[in-house]
Structure 1
Amino acid sequence: MTSPSEHSGSTKGDYPWWLVALVVVAMGIAVVIAANEIYSQVFAVILKGLWVTIFVTVVGFTLATLLGLGVALLGLSDSAAARQFARFYTEVIRGVPILVLLFYVAFVGAPALVALANFVATPLVTAGYIDPFLVRDVSLMWRAIIALMIGYSAFIGEVFRAGIQSVDKGQIEAAKALGLSRYQRFRLVIFPQAIRVILPPLGNDFVAMVKDSSLVSVLGVSDITQMAKVYASGSFRFFETYSIVAYVYLILTVGLSLALRGLEKRLRKGFER
């Protein structure tokens, strides 16, 4: 019988044949797209929504990361009220499906926000300095981005909290003894060590948001999925259209996953030096 360590070593040494197979399949599909007029047409239509998908994902994830970090810091603060608020926010947001949150922000939150803005600006509107705000002034794309930001911030907040708590308390106490401020302790001691724990799940959340960005199509935002829906409903070529959609998303997610793994390895080597 082989020992667990031998099993572990053989696993680490396995050649990534799955990646080779995936590349071969992807290249084969690319040849089909280039050679077939129908697939080429579908691919061209879908690519029109690629930049919208990228924009929604990058902006939404950046905002979610900032908000999630804020929630994590509240959850780790000395104030009991702040900790309870952070836990309340996290549990509520994590308990609501992203699609439901998307509808709520788009059709409940945005009108409520516009109504509040009009109420605050009533003197200016009455005096004729500005026109009343309208719900349609808030674009559907930004409603979708805000929904993704809120939805993912709860999960990212937990990632940050776990990473920060993984840092040895003895080092934090030593930093306090040296007279470092709270900000200096976080920047110089806590964050450089926590990032090694935070980065892998944070990367997974980014890849997950790429896929969940397809939900914005329910609001009519012209991303990859929405462009595919419009084309398929007009041409009735559902097989060709959604096969290409799956292919594009697969290229995006697998490519990002490999890039993030490479970044993790580089950072790990940098920390070990």
Structure 2
Amino acid sequence: MQFEWSAVWSALPILLEGAKLTLWISILGLCGGLIIGVIAGLARAIGDWFSSHVALVFIELIRGTPIVVQVMFIYFALPLMVPVRIEPVTAAVVTIMINSGAYIAEITRGAVQSIHSGFREAGLALGLSRRETLRYVIMPLALRRMLPPLGNQWIISIKDTSLFIVIGVAELTRQGQEIIAGNFRAMETWTAVAVVYLVITQALSFVMRRLEKRMKIL
């Protein structure tokens, strides 16, 4: 079977539109996931017994179920429980928020617990409260150590958006499927889809490596 480059060039504008939506979903989802993850991670690292166990239940529940099941529950099952209509893109963003939040919670917990206790003691010795010590001493150091796994989580979230094809989100993979339905050039179209994903993830990896190098701590 001959590879038709013309099929790739004609599909590229549509695929780039899908790539824009893929990035948008991943960025919004990761921003929300960062908030959820930091709160849950701090609850696990320094919270009381109740908050720590609530966070643990959330983390284990989300990490123990596939993301495709989570998005289908949010899109199909949740509207049956509460009288609200959820759009596909909204369901996708919320799913990425919740899913990435569970993993970022463990990233946060590990980063906070990796900071030597001497930093906390020094902050308290300088007259800072426990909250101020956490905010001005511990978290700036922890956030630097969180950068590499956060970059990995972003890349994972970008690839996870391909699963939202099951609810009809017009992201990159869905656009590829729609193109194949029209031109029947599966080899060329899926190759183009794979290359677009690869370009996005490699560009993100390069940026994160540069950022990690600039903000590296011992």
Same fold (TM over 0.5): yes
CA distance, structure 2, for counterparts of residue 62 and residue 52 of structure 1: 15
Match of 1:193 in 2: 141
TM-score computed with the length of structure 1 as normaliser: 0.75
* Aligned AA (2:36): L
Which structure 1 segments of 5+ residues have no match? 1-31, 115-133
| CA distance, structure 1, for counterparts of residue 120 and residue 174 of structure 2 | 49
Aligned residues: 216
Shift of 1:259: 0.9
Q: Distance in 1 between matches of 2:80 and 2:155?
A: 31
Greater CA drift, 146-155 or 156-165: 146-155
Residue by residue over 1:214-270, the C-alpha shift from the partner in whole angstroms, topping out at 9 and shown as x without a partner, is 1122211111111111111222111111000000000000111011001111112xx
Structure 1, residues 132-178: CA drift from partner, whole Å, max 9, x if none? xx52xx21100111111111111110000000001111221221232
Which structure has the greater CA radius of gyration?
1
What are the Cα deviations for residues 162-200 of structure 1, in whole angstroms up to 9, with x where unaligned? 000011112212212322123321222101221232111
Give 1:69's aligned amino acid. Answer: V
In the alignment, what sits opposite 1:41? 10
- Tell me which amino acid in the other structure corresponds to 2:31: T
Identify the residue that residue 52 of structure 2 maps to in structure 1: 83
Q: Does 1:98 align with 2:46?
A: no
Aligned residue for 2:150?
202
Distance 1:50 1:84 in 2: 38
Where structure 2 has 5 or more consecutive residues not aligned to the other structure, the ranges are none
Contact 1:42 1:240 in 2 (8 A): no
Deviations 1:39-63 (A, max 9, x none): 2111122122122111101000110
Distance between the aligned counterparts of 2:180 and 2:47, measured in 1?
Answer: 55
2:7–2:185 contact (8 Å) kept in structure 1: no
Taking the aligned partners of 1:78 and 1:154, their CA distance within structure 2 comes to: 16
Q: 1:64 aligns with which of 5, 26, 33?
A: 33
- Whether contact under 8 Å (2:7, 2:189) holds in the other structure is no
Query: What is the root-mean-square deviation of aligned Cα atoms in Å?
Result: 1.7
Aligned partner letter, 2:123: A
Residues 48-59 of structure 1 mapped to structure 2, 5 A cutoff: 48-59=17-28
1:100-145 deviation per Cα after TM superposition (whole angstroms, max 9, x unaligned): 111111111243232xxxxxxxxxxxxxxxxxxx52xx21100111
Task: Percent identity, please.
Answer: 33
- TM-score, normalization: structure 2? 0.93
CA distance in 1, matches of 2:173, 2:116: 45
2:112 match? 164
- 1:218-237 alignment, distance < 5 Å: 218-237=166-185
On the 8 A contact 1:68/1:157 being kept in 2, the answer is: yes
> Which residues of 2 match residues 99-248 of structure 1 at below 5 A?
99-114=68-83, 134-135=84-85, 138-248=86-196
Q: Counterpart in 1 of 2:215? A: 267
CA shift, 1:78, in A, is 4.0
Give, in whole Å, the separation in 1 of the partners of 2:57 and 2:81: 22
The one-letter amino acid of 1:246's match is: A
Runs of 4+ in 1 over 6 A off after TM superposition: none
8 A contact 2:15–2:175 mirrored in 1: yes
> Deviation at 1:82?
0.8
Contact 1:110 1:143 in 2 (8 A): no
